[in-house]
C-alpha cells in the first residue's frame, strides 16, 4: 500500500531527527517524521529507581520494549549472544519521541576546535581510523548557538579558558551551586584548574514557555516532571507540527529505504503501530535513527544497484562504532555533602581534554547526577560488596559521597561495528543489528590518566576514602547513549559514508543526520553537537532544495 507522497521522510525523532523535521517543515517541505516509540509527556515520569533509562534493572522506561527488540552481541572471543534492550551489551538508546533527549542528563557541550582535528593534532594512531572532520568548529559555531537558544541551554562557561570561541553567551544562567559544587570549586582552584558551571539543556529560569528546574533528584534517566529539561520532544518537534507541514507517526518501525533503478531513494517502507507494512513515498529520506539503528537501516536496504546496502559501496557503513568509556572516582567525605538538590551535576573542568603530556586526547571531568541508593551500591570499596562492611559503607557514604567522572575521547576502530545478522530477525521480521569488535587500547590509558585526575581533585577537596571508577572495560564494545561514528562524514567516498553536508556519497537524495556521522566524538557528551550538525545539515539541505523532482 502506498501513501500520499511527501517531500521528506525523517526516520527517528531524537536529537538529530527532531531538529531536521522542524527545519524542513519551516522551510515549507512536507515531512513525515517516523518514530518507533511512543510520545511520553512529563506525567509519564515514574521516578522508579529500578525501571528507568539509566538503570534498566527491570527494563527501560522509554523503550525500546524487551519483547520485540533484540540484537546479536559478539564478544571479543567471538561468542555470540542474543541480547535485549535492558542488557548492557545491547548498547541501547531510548526509543521514544525525543529519543535520548527525553530522559538524558542534558549536559550541553560544544566540542573544542581540536576535537574536529584529532588526526592533525595527534597524528595517526595504530589500530585506529582516527581522522579529522571535513568541517571545522568555526563552520559549526553558528549552529551550536542556534541549538543553545532554540532548544534552551543554561550554564556559564565564561570561566573555561579552554573552550572554543563563542559569539554569544548562553541564554540562561546556571542553577545556583549545590553543596558538592561548593566543595569542589575551591579545591579545583587550589590545584590550578579552571572550574565552571556545566552548560545544560535544562531551564534554570522559565524559558520558551516551559518552567524552571525544580531541583528534584530524578533527572538523568528520567523524564522531567515539570518539563524543565529541554529535549526535541518539547521544543522543536511541537514547532514542526505547528507548521502544518510535518506529520509525526509514532510506533512506526522502518523496514527499509526504497530505491528506484536510477539509484535514487523513493521513500521508506515501515510497519505502522498496527503492524501493517506501509510505503511512504518521498523526494528525499533522512536517517536519524542512532549510530546503531541508522547503519542497520542502510544495510537492510539492499537492491540490485546496492547489493551491500545503501551507502555501503566501500564497506564503511556500520564501522567505527564508538562512544565514551566513563572514568573517574568516588570519594567519601567527613562531612555531609548531600543536599538533595538536583540535578547534582553542576561543576566541570576542561583542563584535561587536550594537551596532556604523553596522552592522546582526554576528556572533561564533572561531578555527577545524584545517585540513588541502588546506584551507590556499585561504588563500594574493595571488600564492601556485601555483608556488614557493605551496610556500614552505605550508611557512612550515602550522604557524604561525591563522584567526579568524565567521558574518555575514544579512538575509532574499524572493526568495532554494526552489521545486520544473517539469520536472526526481530518481531517485525527485520534482520537485527549484529554488534562486534571492541575498543582501542588507548582508551584505557586515557581512562587511567583521567581517573587519577578525578581522584586527585576529590583528595584536594578533602575526601577521606577514594575509589576509582570505570565503566567500559577493555575488550568490550563501546556504545549506549553516546554511540557515534558508524556513518562517518568525509570528503573521500572510499573512506566515509556521507559528505560534509551529511548526504550519502553515491545517493543524492539520502541523508544521515545523527551521531552516526561523527568522525570522532570528543571528550564530551555529544548531544549538542548532534543538534548543531542537524541544524547545519538542514540549512544546507534547504538551500539546495529544488523542489519535487522526477514526479
Partner 1 sequence: MSPTYRFSRRNFLELGIAAAFVGSGCSKAKNKAWRFFTAEEAKTIAALSEQIIPADQDPGATWAGVVNYIDRQLCGSLKRFRNNYRQGIAGVEESSRLRYGKGFGALDTKNQIELMHLLENGKAPGESWKRTSSSEFFALLVEHTRQGFYGDPRHGGNRDAAAWKMLGLPYPPIRGRQRYDLTKG
What is the distance in angstroms between the CA of the first residue and the CA of the last residue of the chain?
18
Nearest distance, CB of residue 93 and partner 1, angstroms = 9
Nearest distance, CB of residue 438 and partner 1, angstroms = 12
The site map against partner 1 for 172-211 (x = CB under 8 A) is: ----------------------------------x---xx
Nearest distance, CB of residue 1 and partner 1, angstroms = 35
Residue 215, C-alpha cell as written in the block: 531541583
Residue 441, C-alpha cell as written in the block: 587500547
Q: Which of residues 225-244 bind partner 1 (CB under 8 A)?
A: 225-226
Residue from 40, 137, 144, 218 binding partner 1 (CB under 8 A)? 218
Q: Near partner 1 by CB under 8 A, which window of 113-121, 270-278, 388-396, 456-464?
A: 388-396
Indicate whether 291 belongs to the interface with partner 1 (CB under 8 A): no
Q: How far, in Å, CA of 143 to CA of 164, rounded?
A: 14
Residue from 129, 259, 476, 521 binding partner 1 (CB under 8 A)? 476
Nearer to partner 1, 469 or 533 (CB): 469
Place of cell 567471538: 78
Query: In this structure, are strands 253-259 and 401-409 parallel, antiparallel, or unpaired?
Result: unpaired
Q: Which of residues 335-374 bind partner 1 (CB under 8 A)?
A: 340, 342, 345, 368-369, 371-374
Do residues 208 and 202 touch, judged by C-beta distance below 8 A?
Answer: no
Q: What SS3 class is residue 269?
A: strand
The site map against partner 1 for 45-84 (x = CB under 8 A) is: --xxxxx--xxxxxx------x------x-x---x-xxxx
Nearest distance, CB of residue 461 and partner 1, angstroms = 19
Phi/psi for 449 (5° steps) reads -60, -50
CA–CA–CA angle 302, 501, 117 (5° rounding): 110
Q: Which of residues 83-142 bind partner 1 (CB under 8 A)?
A: 83-84, 86-89, 100, 103-107
Q: How far, in Å, CA of 528 to CA of 232, rounded?
A: 11
Residue 287 pairs in a beta bridge with 11, 512
Indicate whether 405 belongs to the interface with partner 1 (CB under 8 A): yes
Count the alpha carbons within 13 Å of 117 in the hemisphere toward its beta carbon.
10
Nearer to partner 1, 311 or 343 (CB): 343
Q: How far, in Å, CA of 522 to CA of 353, rounded?
A: 8
Do residues 346 and 180 touch, judged by C-beta distance below 8 A?
Answer: yes
Residue from 31, 96, 183, 480 binding partner 1 (CB under 8 A)? 480
Nearer to partner 1, 87 or 448 (CB): 87
Indicate whether 378 belongs to the interface with partner 1 (CB under 8 A): yes
Name the nearest CA neighbour of 64 among 33, 95, 97, 19.
95
Residue from 377, 465, 540, 548 binding partner 1 (CB under 8 A)? 377
Rounded to the nearest 5 percent, the helix, strand and coil shares of the chain are 25, 20, 55
Q: How far, in Å, CA of 524 to CA of 502, rounded?
A: 21
Residue 277 pairs in a beta bridge with 271
Q: How far, in Å, CA of 157 to CA of 199, rounded?
A: 7
Name the nearest CA neighbour of 61 among 293, 172, 222.
222
Nearer to partner 1, 7 or 476 (CB): 476
Nearer to partner 1, 101 or 312 (CB): 101
Nearer to partner 1, 278 or 481 (CB): 481
**Size of interface with partner 1, in residues (CB under 8 A):** 77
Nearest distance, CB of residue 178 and partner 1, angstroms = 13
Nearer to partner 1, 104 or 501 (CB): 104
Nearer to partner 1, 392 or 492 (CB): 392
Q: Which of residues 484-513 bind partner 1 (CB under 8 A)?
A: none
Amino acid at each position: 500500500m502506498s501513501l500520499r507522497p511527501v517531500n521528506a521522510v525523517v526516520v527517528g525523532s531524537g536529537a538529530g531527527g527532531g531538529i531536521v523535521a522542524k527545519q524542513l517543515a519551516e522551510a515549507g517541505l512536507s515531512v513525515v517524521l517516523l518514530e518507533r516509540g511512543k510520545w511520553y509527556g512529563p506525567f509519564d515520569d515514574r521516578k522508579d529507581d529500578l525501571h528507568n533509562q539509566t538503570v534498566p534493572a527491570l527494563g527501560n522506561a522509554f523503550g525500546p520494549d524487551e519483547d520485540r527488540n533484540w540484537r546479536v552481541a559478539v564478544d571479543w572471543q567471538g561468542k555470540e549472544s542474543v541480547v535485549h534492550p535492558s542488557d548492557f551489551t545491547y548498547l541501547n538508546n531510548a526509543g521514544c519521541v525525543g529519543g535520548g533527549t527525553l530522559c538524558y542528563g542534558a549536559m550541553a557541550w560544544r566540542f573544542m576546535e581540536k576535537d574536529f582535528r584529532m588526526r592533525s593534532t595527534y597524528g595517526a594512531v595504530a589500530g585506529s581510523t582516527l581522522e579529522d572532520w571535513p568541517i571545522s568548529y568555526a563552520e559549526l559555531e553558528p549552529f551550536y548557538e542556534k541549538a543553545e537558544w532554540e532548544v534552551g541551554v543554561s550554564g556559564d562557561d565564561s570561566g573555561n579558558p579552554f573552550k572554543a570561541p563563542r559569539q554569544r553567551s548562553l541564554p540562561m544562567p546556571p542553577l545556583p551551586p549545590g553543596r558538592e559544587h561548593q566543595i569542589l570549586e575551591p579545591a579545583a582552584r587550589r590545584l590550578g584548574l579552571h572550574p565552571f558551571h556545566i552548560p545544560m539543556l535544562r531551564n534554570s529560569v522559565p524559558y520558551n514557555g516551559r518552567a524552571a528546574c525544580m531541583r528534584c533528584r530524578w533527572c538523568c534517566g528520567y523524564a522531567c516532571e515539570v518539563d524543565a529539561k529541554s529535549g526535541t520532544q518539547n521544543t522543536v518537534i511541537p514547532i514542526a507540527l505547528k507548521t502544518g507541514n510535518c506529520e509525526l507517526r509514532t510506533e512506526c518501525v522502518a523496514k527499509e529505504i526504497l530505491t528506484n533503478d536510477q539509484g535514487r531513494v523513493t521513500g521508506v517502507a515501515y510497519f505502522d503501530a498496527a503492524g501493517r507494512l506501509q510505503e511512504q513515498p518521498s523526494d528525499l529520506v533522512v536517517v536519524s535513527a542512532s549510530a546503531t539503528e541508522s547503519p542497520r537501516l542502510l544495510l537492510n536496504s539492499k537492491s540490485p544497484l546496492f547489493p551491500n546496502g545503501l551507502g555501503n559501496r566501500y564497506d564503511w557503513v556500520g564501522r567505527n562504532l564508538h562512544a565514551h568509556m566513563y572514568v573517574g572516582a568516588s570519594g567519601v567525605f567527613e562531612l555531609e555533602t548531600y543536599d538533595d538538590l538536583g540535578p547534582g551535576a553542576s561543576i566541570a573542568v576542561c583542563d584535561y581534554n587536550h594537551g596532556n603530556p604523553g596522552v592522546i586526547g582526554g576528556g572533561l571531568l564533572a561531578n555527577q547526577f545524584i545517585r540513588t541508593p541502588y546506584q551507590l551500591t556499585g561504588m563500594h570499596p574493595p571488600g564492601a560488596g556485601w555483608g556488614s562492611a557493605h551496610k556500614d559503607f552505605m550508611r557512612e557514604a550515602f550522604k557524604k559521597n561525591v563522584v567526579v567522572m568524565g567521558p574518555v575521547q575514544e579512538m575509532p576502530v574499524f572493526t568495532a561495528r554494526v552489521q545486520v545478522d544473517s539469520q536472526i530477525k526481530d518481531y517485525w521480521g527485520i534482520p537485527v543489528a549484529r554488534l562486534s569488535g571492541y575498543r582501542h587500547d588507548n582508551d584505557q590509558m586515557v581512562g587511567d590518566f583521567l581517573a587519577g585526575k578525578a581522584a586527585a581533585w576529590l583528595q584536594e577537596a578533602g575526601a577521606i576514602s577514594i575509589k576509582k571508577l570505570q565503566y567500559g572495560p577493555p575488550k568490550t564494545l563501546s556504545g549506549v547513549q553516546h554511540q557515534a561514528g558508524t556513518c562517518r562524514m568525509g570528503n573521500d567516498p572510499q573512506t566515509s559514508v556521507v559528505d560534509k553536508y551529511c548526504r550519502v556519497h553515491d545517493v543524492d537524495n539520502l541523508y544521515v543526520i545523527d551521531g552516526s556521522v561523527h568522525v570522532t566524538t570528543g571528550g564530551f557528551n555529544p548531544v549538542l553537537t548532534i543538534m548543531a550538525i542537524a541544524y547545519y545539515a538542514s540549512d544546507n539541505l534547504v538551500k539546495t532544495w529544488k523542489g519535487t523532482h522526477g514526479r
